A = this chain, B = another copy of it.
Amino acid sequence: MKDKLGATNALYPLVTAIVGSTVEGKPNFATVAHVGIASLKSITVGMGKDHHTNRGIREHRTFSVNLPTEAQVEVTDYLGMASGAKVDKSGIFTVSYGELGTAPLIDECPVSMELRVIEHVELPTHDLFVGEVVATYADTAVLTNGVVDLAKLKPLLFDMGSRRYWALGDPVAKCWSVGKDYGPLS
């Protein structure tokens, strides 16, 4: 028997990302853990409308998603507290650009993606941007056979309930495999 908690969002943990855009000609970044995947090639980011970074996404219809590591927890947390409207965050990282030209890629993060906005849903308080992944970049150090290896990446997971970042644990089982004898498939 479960307890009723009210209308609490319990979809945690989610992977912590640093979202980048170009605002007034300069790169700006915000830490966002309210992210998700919409389809194989597209990503959602839900960001309060007053975020400075949103301005750049609305203007250029491009953004970057960069994945920080456990070792980068301090700067990641800082970027979730300091607003680009008050603090110039353009010098915190070394920035590169890929195909889109306005999606600032963080060199210090081992994984970066550049995205083009394909849908912009205006919720009452939030912009929900759906971005198509145009290109993905990763440090060789976090790859195994050309694929991002989460055990090497050590991503930061976010949980609102505990107000903490969490580490990833160990593999549990293979997908599309461990359950194949649980019941009939057709």
Partner of A78, one of B40, B77, B130, B183: B183
Which residues does chain B contribute within 8 Å of A166, judged by CB atoms?
A: 150, 168-172
A23 to B123, CA, bound (A): 28
Partner of A185, one of B65, B87, B138: B87
Which residues does chain B contribute within 8 Å of A183, judged by CB atoms?
A: 78, 82, 87, 92
CB distance from A92 to the nearest CB of B (A): 7
Partner of A123, one of B118, B125, B162: B118
Q: Which of A105-134 contact B (CB under 8 A)?
A: 107, 110-113, 118-119, 121, 123-126, 128, 130, 132-134
| Beta-carbon nearest neighbor of A170 in chain B | B167
Q: Which of A142-158 contact B (CB under 8 A)?
A: 143, 146-150, 155-158
B182 touches A111 (CB 8 A): no
A172 touches B164 (CB 8 A): yes
Contact of A39 with B34 at beta-carbon distance under 8 Å, contacts A77-B182, A159-B150 already known? yes
A184 lies within 8 A of chain B by Cβ: yes
Interface string of A84-98 (1 = CB under 8 A from B): 001100001000001
A35 touches B9 (CB 8 A): no
18 A-B pairs besides A7-B133, A35-B36, A77-B179 with CB distance below 8 A are A2-B139, A8-B133, A9-B41, A9-B42, A12-B148, A34-B39, A39-B48, A39-B123, A42-B123, A44-B128, A77-B182, A79-B179, A82-B185, A157-B157, A163-B174, A163-B177, A166-B171, A167-B170
